[in-house]
Amino acid sequence: MVKIALLFPGQGSQYIGMGKEFFEKYEEVKRIFNQVNEIMGYDLKKIIFEGPENSLKQTEITQPAIFVTNFACFKVFAINYQLSTMDCLCAGHSLGEYSALVACRVLSFEEGLQLVKKRAEFIQETSKKKPGKMAAILGLNKEKIEGICSLAKSRGIVEAANFNCPGQIVISGENGAVDYALDLAKEEKAKVVLLKVSGPFHSSLMKEAGEKMAKELKNYQFHDTLLPVVTNCDAEITISGNEIKEKLVKQIYHPVLWEETIRKMFNQGVNTFIEIGPGKVLSGLVKRINESAKVLNIENEESLNICLNQSSSGSIGELKCAKKN
């Protein structure tokens, strides 16, 4: 039975200085960050490590920045663990799905970064044509929020976009419709939080971005996965590279089924989740889905050492520390 899941965060987890500790210690991570600027055409490394924060929040920059940091953290993970001995599943939240695919060798790092760069550009272009917003609604169930969205559609497009965990669902859509939906949610005593994003992601307003991504993906060969990936748009375990390519198009304008993804992993025997990349957003969601889950993360030296100590003591399933020279 599968025991371990590797999770990769998406947009919203970024912060200035992410990945810098690993950059300063690992030559492999230095090589990753140093090759990024050539692909991006600007000094992305400097923005990640030094800011300014306003730049790091721009979708065209945020998405490649998180992708690169996720891969750097995964590289450190792979250096310290015998990945080939692991029996595990992988998943990434929205943008993080690309990190999962590179970790599972569906794409190379360079190919993944090129696609993430294009994805961010397409999403930003579409958001300018069809502006909107996203907001988290806390304290209401799926049925209640779907009912609210149905009522709010009298003001425009508004849809459930992220089913993150029990009591936390994100809606996305046109400004007026989202605002009305939030008013309705407040009448139900729900807490609402506007998300700091630049558009109505994972809604039908992103169809044009999906169409552009479909054309771009035709230029890439997707390999079958080294480790099974649970995909965002349907929470299904997927190995076929061709299937994954099709699902990445749908992912742009379809809700992220994160709660269902994590429950699928539990049903496959996962009892330990390791979040690889900046922040602990996904770790928190996993605990809200199942408080008995063992959750760790790898984003800096402190979190890596905690993970290493846990695995050395044999308390993380099948995870084995790599032999040190």
Domain ranges of the chain: 4-127+205-312, 132-198
Average pLDDT on 273-279 reads 97
The CATH classification number of 132-198 equals 3.30.70.250
Q: Quick one: which of 241, 317, 323 has its CA closest to 1? A: 317
Rounded to 5°, the CA angle 181-184-187 comes to 155
Q: What are phi and psi of 144, to 5 degrees?
A: -65, -45
Residue 321 has pLDDT above 70, yes or no: no
> What pLDDT score was predicted for residue 325?
36
Residue 99 has pLDDT above 50, yes or no: yes
Most distant pair of Cα atoms in the chain: their distance: 65
Q: Decide yes or no: CATH 3.90.320.10 for domain 4-127+205-312.
A: no
**Beta pairing class for 191-194 and 272-276:** unpaired
> 154 pLDDT band (50/70/90 cuts)?
very high
Residue 321 DSSP one-character state: B
> What pLDDT score was predicted for residue 217?
98
Neighbours of 100 (CB within 10 A): 28
Q: Do domains 4-127+205-312 and 132-198 have the same CATH topology?
A: no
Average pLDDT on 67-79 reads 96
**Beta pairing class for 294-298 and 168-173:** unpaired
Q: Catalytic site residues? A: 94, 202
> 30 pLDDT band (50/70/90 cuts)?
very high
Q: Could you tell me the CA-to-CA distances from 147 to 11, 109, 183, 286 in Å, in that order?
A: 27, 41, 13, 26
